[in-house]
Chains A and B, each alone.
Chain A
Amino acid sequence: MSWKDAWLAATRSLGRRAGRTALTVLAVALAAALLSALLIISTSARTRVLDQLAKGGPLAGIQVAAAAPGPAALDTDSPSPGRARDLDATTLRQIRGLRGVRSVVPIESNPVLVEVPATTLDPFRETLVGIDLRRVKTLPITVIVGRTPAIGSRTEIAVTDGYLRRLGLDRKTAAKVIGTEVELGAPRVFPSRNGRTDVRGRWTRAEIVGVVAQQVVSAQFLGSAEMVRDARAWSAASDPAGGFQLPSSRYAGVFVVADGLDHVGAVRARITRLGYSTSAPENLIETVRRYLRVVEIVLAGIGIIALAIASLGITNALLAAIRERRREIGVLKAIGARDRDVRRIFLLEAGMTGLVGGALGTVIGYGIARILGAVVNQYLVEQGLPGVAIGLPLPVLVGGVLGAAALAVIAGVVPAQRAARLPARQAMGDG
C-alpha cells in the first residue's frame, strides 16, 4: 500500500470519527498552545532582559573611554578609568583593525550652556553628545518617548532622564517635553578686556524630539555628530589664556561591537593593550543568560509535559478506535493488507492528529502570547519603560508543529503495533 493510499485511508478514518478526532486534536492543540505560548513569552522576555542589560545596544558592545585603563581593567564589567587619554582618528583606525571587532562608532561631545525658554529654569551647563545617527541602533540608546533626531539634523535633539528631572518630570510624564525647545550655547572664550573674561556663546535653538536612555557618555542632550562638530569648532577657538579648557581628545569615547559575546573579553584585552579603558556588561549578561536558559528549560518542560499528556490522549483514542475496528482491520488483512500497511495507516492517523493539533496550537499560543504581551506592555508603558515585542520565532513555529506531530507519532506506535498484529481472522468476527 502506497503512502498516498495509506494517507487517504487514514484521512477517511479520522473523518468518520469526526467528534473524537476533533476532541483529540483539541487536546493536542491546547497542549501545543501552552508550549508555544510559554516559549514565545520566555523568548521575548529573554530578548527584553538582555536588551535592558545592554541598554538597547548590542550584547557584544564595548565602551571605550578617552582614558587610560585602570588597575583592574579586565576584572570587572565597569572598571574605573585611569588618567585622561586622547582618542583620535589614529586610535579609531587601530581599534577597527583589531581581530574580533565588527564595528566602531566614535562618540563626540561638547560642553554647552542651556537655556529653556518659557520656564523659570536658570541657564545651566551640560554636555551635548553627538553620534552618527545612522548607526544609532548599534549603540546603547533606548527611545522612551518620541524618536531620535533626524540624521544630520542641527535643529533636533533628544534628552535624557536628567533633563526631565530638571523640569520636575519623570518617564510617565516624559511626553510633555516632546515638541518643546531649548537653546544650546557652545562657549568660546575671547581675549580678556579690562581683566574680565569675555565668554560668548554660539546659540542654537533645537527642538526636543525624543526622550532616551543612553549609556554612551554622561550627558543630558543627544544630537547629531554634525551638530556637535559645529559646537566644538566654535569652542575650540577659545583663547587659551581665558581659563576655559576644552577636552583635548577628538572623541569623548568609542563604542565597539565585537563579533559576538564570546569575543568581548578578547577584544577588551586588545583595546586595553592599546592603552584605553573599556567597559562591557559581558559578565552580567553571561550570568543572566544562564539563569534565563534555566527558566526557558523549566517552561519548555511544563509545555512538553502538557504535550505528553495530550499524546496519551492520542494513544487512548487510537486504542479505542482499534477496539471498534477489529473487524475492519481483519477485513483489510483479508483483502491483502500487510501488517506494515495497517501500521502505516494508524501512524498516519496519529501523525495527522498531531500535525493539525500542533499547527492549531501554535497559532493559538501565538495569540495568547500577543494578548499577554499587550497586557505586559500596558504595564511597562505606565511605568515609563519600553514595551516588549512579541514575535513568533521560527524555532517555536517549527518545533511546535513538528514536535507535536512527532510526539503524536510516538504516541501512535503502540496502538499501531497492536492494530498491525490483530489476526486476519477478525474479519470473520470473534466466533
Chain B
Amino acid sequence: MAGVPITARGVSMTYRARGGDVEVLRDFSLDIQTGERISVMGPSGAGKTTLLALIGGLEAVQAGTITVGDLELSTLHGDALANYRHRTVGFVFQHFGLLGNLTALENVELAMSFSTGSSRVRRERAGFLLDAVGVAARSHHRPAELSGGEAQRVALARALANEPSLLLADEPTGNLDGTTAEQVLDLLDTVARDHECTVITVTHDPRVANRSDRIVRLASGTAPK
C-alpha cells in the first residue's frame, strides 16, 4: 500500500435546490502529491465536504476532472466507482458512520465483505486492526456502548481495512473532546505515516489543520487560496 497523487482541474459543482441552484465549487483546481497530508479549511458552505465527496467517489464529477493515481473519476460509474471506493479510499466520518446493529469487530469486517476472502481471514484482520488502534478490548461492543474516542478509533480501523491509498477524514474530531481529539489525531498521524497513504482532512479546527503538510483554504464557491 502506498499513497496516490491527486489532480483536480477546473472542477465545478452545483446542487439543485427548491430555492434555486447552489454553486458550491467553481473552476476548482488542486494538486496533491503522493503520501501528502493536507487539510481543507473554509467557512460552512465553501464546499469542503463536497470536495471530499468528489475525490472519494461519493459524488459524480459534474464539470472538470479529478484524477486519483491513474484513475480519472469521471469515467467511473456503478460497480467501477464502488470498486474504487472499496479498494482505494478509506473514509473517516465526523459521525463515525458505524452500523449500530454490528459490533466493533463486525463493523471492521463489513468493510472487507465486499471483496472475496474467507470470513476467518477477515475476522483475523479486523481483530488485528482493532488491536492496532487500541480498542481490541471493545471488539464485541456495539457502537452505542463505545465512547466517542473509541468509536472513532473503530471507524479508523474500518477505514484501514482494505489498505487504502487515500484516507479521507471529514471533521474526524468534530464530535470529540479536546483530549480525545488529540489522541485520535495522534493515531491518525501514526497510521497515515505507517501506511504511507495520502490523507485529506476536512476541518474547522486549526489544531487539526496544523498537523498536516499543507492547508487548502476554500472560500465560498471559489478556487482555493
Whether A425 touches B158, Cβ cut-off 8 Å, given contacts A13-B101, A335-B85, A335-B114, is: no
In angstroms, Cα B12 to Cα A162, docked, is: 100
* Interface: A334 (CB within 8 A): yes
> Can you list 18 A-B contacts with CB-CB less than 8 angstroms, sorted by A residue number?
A13-B101, A15-B101, A16-B100, A327-B95, A327-B97, A330-B58, A331-B93, A331-B99, A334-B85, A335-B161, A336-B85, A341-B114, A424-B59, A425-B53, A427-B58, A428-B49, A428-B52, A428-B58
**B residues within 8 A CB of A334?**
56, 58, 85, 89, 91, 97
Please encode chain A, from 400 to 431, with 1 for each CB lying within 8 Å of some chain B CB and 0 for all others.
00000000000000000000000111011101
Asked if residues B95 and A5 are in contact (CB atoms below 8 Å), the reply is no
Please encode chain A, from 328 to 342, with 1 for each CB lying within 8 Å of some chain B CB and 0 for all others.
101111111111010
**A residues within 8 A CB of B111?**
335-336
In angstroms, Cα B95 to Cα A331, docked, is: 11
* Interface: B86 (CB within 8 A): yes
Whether A338 touches B79, Cβ cut-off 8 Å, given contacts A15-B101, A16-B100, A428-B170, is: yes
- A residues 281-297 near B (Cβ < 8 Å) are none
* Interface: A99 (CB within 8 A): no
Asked if residues A16 and B58 are in contact (CB atoms below 8 Å), the reply is no
* Interface: A194 (CB within 8 A): no
In angstroms, Cα B89 to Cα A335, docked, is: 8
Please encode chain A, from 1 to 18, with 1 for each CB lying within 8 Å of some chain B CB and 0 for all others.
110010001001101100
Asked if residues B59 and A423 are in contact (CB atoms below 8 Å), the reply is yes
**A residues within 8 A CB of B101?**
12-13, 15-16
**A residues within 8 A CB of B57?**
424
For A17, the closest partner residue in chain B by CB is B101
**A residues within 8 A CB of B52?**
428
* Interface: B216 (CB within 8 A): no
**A residues within 8 A CB of B56?**
334
- B residues 90-109 near A (Cβ < 8 Å) are 91, 93, 95, 97, 99-102, 106
For B85, the closest partner residue in chain A by CB is A336
Contacts across chains A and B counted by CB atoms under 8 Å: 83
Chain B min CB distance to A47 (Å): 48
Asked if residues B99 and A337 are in contact (CB atoms below 8 Å), the reply is no
14 further contact pairs, Cβ within 8 A, besides A330-B58, A333-B85, A424-B53? A9-B110, A13-B101, A16-B100, A327-B95, A332-B110, A334-B58, A335-B110, A336-B83, A336-B87, A338-B83, A338-B114, A427-B58, A428-B58, A429-B95
Chain A min CB distance to B180 (Å): 22
Asked if residues B58 and A12 are in contact (CB atoms below 8 Å), the reply is no
* Interface: B162 (CB within 8 A): yes
In angstroms, Cα B82 to Cα A341, docked, is: 11
Asked if residues B114 and A1 are in contact (CB atoms below 8 Å), the reply is yes
CB within 8 Å of A: which residues of B?
Answer: 49, 52-53, 56-59, 78-79, 82-83, 85-87, 89, 91, 93, 95, 97, 99-102, 106, 110-111, 113-115, 158, 161-162, 170
Chain A min CB distance to B114 (Å): 4
**B residues within 8 A CB of A425?**
53, 58-59
**A residues within 8 A CB of B170?**
428
**A residues within 8 A CB of B158?**
335
Q: Of A9, A339, A427, A431, which is within 8 A of B93 by CB?
A: A427
For A339, the closest partner residue in chain B by CB is B78
For B115, the closest partner residue in chain A by CB is A336
**A residues within 8 A CB of B113?**
1-2, 5
Q: Of A328, A336, A428, which is within 8 A of B86 by CB?
A: A336
- A residues 318-362 near B (Cβ < 8 Å) are 327-328, 330-339, 341
Chain B min CB distance to A417 (Å): 14
For B49, the closest partner residue in chain A by CB is A428
**B residues within 8 A CB of A423?**
58-59
Asked if residues B114 and A12 are in contact (CB atoms below 8 Å), the reply is no
Asked if residues B82 and A336 are in contact (CB atoms below 8 Å), the reply is yes
**B residues within 8 A CB of A339?**
78-79, 82
**B residues within 8 A CB of A327?**
95, 97
For A426, the closest partner residue in chain B by CB is B58
Asked if residues A328 and B85 are in contact (CB atoms below 8 Å), the reply is no
Chain B min CB distance to A342 (Å): 10
Asked if residues B82 and A428 are in contact (CB atoms below 8 Å), the reply is no
